[in-house]
A and B are shown apart, each in its own frame.
Chain A
Amino acid sequence: EVQLVESGGGLVQPGGSLRLSCAASGSTLTSHSISWVRQAPGKGLEWVSYSGTTSTTTYYADSVKGRFTISRDNAKNSVYLQMNSLRAEDTAIYYCASVYHYYMDVWGRGTTVTVSS
């Protein structure tokens, strides 16, 4: 079974940028579609972005469209989420998850993003 580990979170000022990474082990990412899901403090889960097994298939939630970009480097067994023009409402724990038949079967532990001045 694939294991996923997120990294790259931190404190950033409004308007700033961050790049999150999702590294896989135990399996090659070439056979896994990946989504990013976030959870604001004390709130529920919100789907953010999806990458099919190749970089050509990507989808975004309306709340991040035009600001976030998902990409993958199968050679490094990793998926990335480039987050630009960050806002306070982007503050959340960001999870990457393997997507199989429209559900998330494996989740990482998450990385925390805080957008504040």
Chain B
Amino acid sequence: QSVLTQPPSVSGAPGQRVTISCTGSSSNIGSFYDVHWYRQLPGTAPKLLIYGNTNRPSGVPERFSGSKSGTSASLAISGLQAEDEADYYCQSYDSSLSGWVFGGGTKLTV
């Protein structure tokens, strides 16, 4: 049972837009801690996709965007491409646990 809740799977056709939700609580997302997103391609290590709720590291396309509101956050992917198929994880910090927490991951199928 992950501290942050994500849907196990989402799907979309090429070119469409999908969103992945991440729900937390007042001790993590609902506090002043930011939400970050990672993408994990099959058989590889996770890679930072969005940091600080809305920021994209250098090299991440503008098709990827993040938002945060209250105790939830979302990752949006527009213009879906086949290579977007991967597992996506949200992450924050939890003050009650004094540690980093992840969502259970969402498998995106294109």
Give the A-binding residues of B (Cβ under 8 A).
2, 33-34, 36, 38, 44-48, 51-52, 57, 87, 89, 91-93, 97-105
Contacts and interface: CB of A to CB of B under 8 A. Distances in A.
Given A44-B2, A44-B102, A103 B91 contact: yes
Contacts of B97: 62
Given A44-B89, A61-B99, A103 B45 contact: no
Interface residues of A, number: 22
Contact of B99 (A50, A101, A103): A50
B interface majority secondary structure: strand
A104 B57 contact: no
Nearest to A95: B45
B57 A105 contact: yes
Interface in A74-113: 95, 101-110
